[in-house]
Amino acid sequence: MTNNITGKTQLLGVIGYPVEHSLSPLMHNAAIAQLGLDYVYLPLPIEPQNLEIAIAGFAAVGVVGFSVTIPHKQAIIPLLSEISPLATAVGAVNTVTRQNQRWVGTNTDVEGFIAPLQTTYHQDWRQQIAVILGNGGAARAVVAGCQQLGFAEIHVVGRNQEKLTAFYNSWRNSSIIENLQVHPWEKLTKLIPQANLLVNTTPIGMYPHIDNSPLSREEMAGLSANAIAYDLIYIPQPTQFLQQAQKQGAIIIDGLEMLVQQGVAALKIWLQTESVPVDVMRQALRKHLGLN
């Protein structure tokens, strides 16, 4: 799969710890091979205490750019020269690129999240209500995405009041806070019937716990048949959460396209091109996950 390495091969990669389960190398190297470019995208396991030295080393060896995953998405911020307004609002960087001898960070998870909503459902979201389960890192990109789409109300539901309050307060310097409300889990029964978009950002239902769902059957029974249910999880497909929503007649979206589209957005930045082979990237992942 990986191209022939030459003396001129340009370096891309993903930093995380651990990083060996990342699907990004598979997806990006498939795109690079299709484009016939002399680049390689590597998994780079970096322990938190080595982050700063690793970034300095990347500059020394001329790394073109890299993806950032857990646990570095926030820790990388002080090591960068510039951060996009979007990444600043989200409070996390997942894509870094070298520009004029400086590291510049952005967040493509937001673009990844909204892509399937925009391309498949050409709706006016402005009178609509989003209900988001969970208040972790991915929920931040989802909240920013819902704001970009123009949702009138964005409700985030979490199990820990302290974390929920901190989550809410973290948007104080952003206009997002005007449309944002946070709620304890017990409010779900009241919120779900109002949801036009219901998003699961918790890991509940992820392989191997495939019979679990963040919602009880009774809670999901309140979901409107006109709603869209979106699960960020991509294994299994569909999750228990999406199966429940489908029984309600709702439209369902799984997390694979978000994974593909955040990668597409990153590759466009690194390669400075709009022609990225999206289908090749999607197919590489689907084949690896045994989806066709």
Q: Any idea which residues carry the catalytic annotation?
A: 73
**Of the candidate residues 19, 104, 206, 252, the single one contacting ligand NAP (CB under 6 A):** 206
Rounded distance between C-alpha atoms, residue 180 and residue 81, angstroms = 30
CA dist., res. 159 & res. 161, Å (int): 6
In the complex, least distance from residue 136 CB atom to ligand NAP, rounded to whole angstroms: 2
Measured from the CB atom, the residue of 63 and 139 that comes closer to ligand NAP is 139
**Buried/exposed code over 202-236 (b: 16+ C-beta within 10 A; e: otherwise):** bebbbeeeeeebbbeeebbebbeeebbbbbbbbbb
Six-digit token pair at 143?
């909240």
User: For residue 10, which amino acid is it?
Assistant: Q
Quote the DSSP letter at residue 5.
P
- If you compute the radius of gyration of the chain from its CA atoms, what whole number of angstroms results? 19
Identity of the residue, 160 or 273, whose beta carbon is nearer to ligand NAP in the bound complex: 160
Does residue 202 touch ligand NAP according to CB under 6 A? yes
- Report if residue 160 touches ligand NAP, rule: CB under 6 A: yes
Stretch that binds ligand NAP, among 26-34, 95-103, 236-244, 252-260 (CB under 6 A): 252-260
Cβ of residue 212: shortest distance to ligand NAP, in angstroms? 8
* Edge-first strand listing for the sheet containing 180-184: 180-184, 153-158, 129-133, 197-200, 228-231, 251-253
Report H helices in the chain: 24-35, 51-61, 85-90, 109-120, 137-149, 161-169, 188-191, 217-220, 240-247, 256-271, 278-288
Residues of span 2-61 touching ligand NAP by CB under 6 A: none
Peptide bond into 116 cis (omega under 30): no
Query: Which of 64, 96, 191, 258: binder of ligand NAP (CB under 6 A)?
Result: 258
112 binds ligand NAP, rule: CB under 6 A: yes
Is 159 one of the binding residues for ligand NAP (CB under 6 A)? yes
Supply the minimum distance, in Å, between the C-beta of residue 205 and ligand NAP: 8
**Cβ-proximal residues to 72 (8 Å cutoff; 6+ apart), any chain:** 15, 16, 17, 46, 48, 51
* Comparison of 159 and 187: residue with beta carbon closer to ligand NAP: 159
Q: Which two tokens stand for residue 157?
A: 């539901």
Describe the crossing of helices 109-120 and 137-149 by its angle, rounded to 10 degrees. 50
**Residue span binding ligand NAP (CB under 6 A) among the ranges 28-36, 74-82, 131-139, 145-153:** 131-139
Nearer to ligand NAP, 37 or 289 (CB): 289
- Count the site residues for ligand NAP by CB under 6 A: 24
We find the least distance from the C-beta atom of residue 154 to ligand NAP, in angstroms, to be 15
- β-strand 95-99 against 65-68: which pairing, if any? antiparallel
Q: Does 65 bind ligand NAP (CB under 6 A)?
A: no
Nearer to ligand NAP, 44 or 260 (CB): 260
| Minimum CB distance to ligand NAP smaller for 37 or for 269 | 269
The contact set with ligand NAP (CB under 6 A) reads 109, 112, 134-139, 158-160, 163, 201-204, 206, 232-234, 255, 258-259, 262
